[in-house]
Amino acid sequence: MKPIKDGHVAEPGLAVVEVAAADDETAFAVQELLATRWAIAPADRTTHEPGEPGVRLRCYLDMQQPPEA
């Protein structure tokens, strides 16, 4: 995955969440769960690192804003 940039965590309430899961369905379910509580910049795909188990997904949260309706 790409490095996390300073702007992603520049102030309190901003967070980067990395999810490791067995499959895409599980990773996206976790992302959807987060989106019910906070505003997020969602990932549209997962990644798989050769030699590592499962998939990974990274999304960005803004805990100061409510989720989009």
What pLDDT sits at residue 8?
63
Residue 41 CA to residue 43 CA, distance in Å, equals: 7
Q: How many beta carbons lie within 10 A of that of residue 43, not counting itself?
A: 18
The answer to whether 61 and 4 have CB atoms below 8 angstroms apart is no
pTM: 0.81
What pLDDT sits at residue 2?
73
Residue 6 CA to residue 8 CA, distance in Å, equals: 5
What pLDDT sits at residue 38?
92
How remote is the C-alpha of 69 from its chain's centroid? 18
Residue range 7-38, pLDDT digits in tens? 667 788 899 999 999 999 999 999 999 999 99
Any alpha helices (H) in the chain, and if so which ranges?
24-35
Residue 37 CA to residue 63 CA, distance in Å, equals: 8
